[in-house]
Amino acid sequence: MASAGNPQDGAGQSGPSAKRPRSSHLTLNVGGERFVTSASTLTSNSHYFTALLSGDWVESGDEELYIDQDPAAFKVLLGYMRRGLIKVDDVDEDVLLLAEYLGTERLISAVKVRWLVNLGRGPYLADDCSDEEIVAAFDEEYGGVSSAITAGLLQYFRKANDRVGKEYAEIDMRVTNGAVHCTAIQRFQGRDSIFTEGCSLVGAMNGLRARGYDSQPSSTTSHLHLIRRQYAMLLPRAESVFIPSENDIMAKKKDKTKTQVAAVLFAEDSQEPVAVLAPTEFGSDGGTGSDHFNLTVIKPVCIHTWRKINGFDNLLIANEGENFAVLKATYFAGIEDMDIEGVAIDEISMARVYSRIVRRI
């Protein structure tokens, strides 16, 4: 069995008579686990194997090449070499260290680009920086992958895409002249906030959810606080290496809706719901739902059945009595003139807000 150390050392070279031509396929024994692959797969992706397998390398009579490395990490890298793509979830510290050892430069460069640029780590880099400049900036800042791992900077690389930062929003509910006005506010660092006024609470919840926000437990009776992951657009050069995760795909979508809400309305002294405030896509005209802050009034034959069929199962808010004013929000923001089939808006005394999971990925 041939043992591979540093391919530059010339180990095992005892003259041409002791060699036989390299086969197109070879067996590697990596830390006791065998892998069969082609020489071209290895040499086209790894400087280590390019140097090791150059020329007539196999000692006469040897069937395996032994490499004293972690087989689990090598299995991940071999899959990357075969496909040219790798999942971020598969890139742990052992994989990164072995990738650097084997000289898989394309993968290592993509790791540095993703970490430094896409995930917002390290110094500021201009948008027109080349890959070489980004890699050089990473090495200057951290001293390479091994040094970055030793310093603990890359230990959470697999989870880093979910920790790129947070952005915040809130729904401000203010009472003016006895009416409740809702304003959806998206706040950003380094640029102006976005205000959406004149929407109902339910409409504001849907509008912000379509932008990736979700409610937080710190909310109060006058402010509903929301938070979202700061979506980092992946550079094409890094995206060509990493298989996009759910969050990567979501980052590209204008509509980031994962959940929606609908309000079931009840009239005074009625145990049965009379109407639903639903996203516009449930309207009779089959709206596209492009304006997520707007709502439509619908009256299904059986509201309970409609709610179950469409997945609105999770009760978020149940408002009645004095608290109902908050949910009404100026007669549901523009719906006061709409006819709910004979039910006056003033007669509605209770609403229950339900959420559903929307799978659009």
pLDDT of residue 179 exceeding 80, the answer is no
DSSP 102-139: HT-HHHHHHHHHIIIIIT--SS---TT--HHHHHHHHH
Residue 20 identity (one-letter amino acid): R
Predicted pLDDT at 60: 40
- Which of 106-110, 250-254, 261-265, 299-303 is modeled with the greatest confidence? 106-110
DSSP 144-168: SHHHHHHTTSSTTHHHHTT-S-EEE
- Which of 115-129, 205-219, 299-313 is modeled with the greatest confidence? 299-313
Instruction: Please tell me the pTM assigned to this model.
Output: 0.56
Predicted pLDDT at 237: 58
What's the rounded mean pLDDT across residues 235-240? 62
- Of 339 and 65, the structure prediction assigns the larger pLDDT to 65
- Of 237 and 329, the structure prediction assigns the larger pLDDT to 237
Residues 6 or more apart whose Cβ sits within 8 Å of residue 41: 78, 81, 82
pLDDT per residue as tens digits for the range 17-59: 344 455 578 899 999 999 999 999 999 999 999 998 876 555 4
What is the percentage of the chain residues whose pLDDT exceeds 90? 20
Mean pLDDT of the chain: 76
Domain coordinates of the chain in residue numbers? 1-68, 83-160, 166-234+246-252, 259-357
pLDDT of residue 302 exceeding 70, the answer is yes
Predicted pLDDT at 187: 86
Could you tell me if residue 10 is left (phi over 0), alpha (psi between -120 and 50 degrees) or otherwise beta?
Answer: left
Q: How far apart are CA 127 and CA 37, in angstroms?
A: 39
What's the rounded mean pLDDT across residues 2-12? 56
Predicted pLDDT at 17: 39
Q: How far apart are CA 258 and CA 361, in angstroms?
A: 9
C-alpha pair distances (Å), 326 with each of 72, 108, 200, 316? 56, 53, 9, 14
Least confident of 13-17, 68-72, 206-210, 239-243: 13-17
Residue 283 identity (one-letter amino acid): G
Would you place residue 250 in the very low, low, confident or very high pLDDT band (cuts 50, 70, 90)? low
> What does DSSP say about strands 33-38 and 2-3: parallel, antiparallel, or unpaired?
unpaired
* Domain range 1-68, CATH class: alpha beta
Nearest to 214 by CA among 202, 224, 203: 224
What's the rounded mean pLDDT across residues 230-251? 66
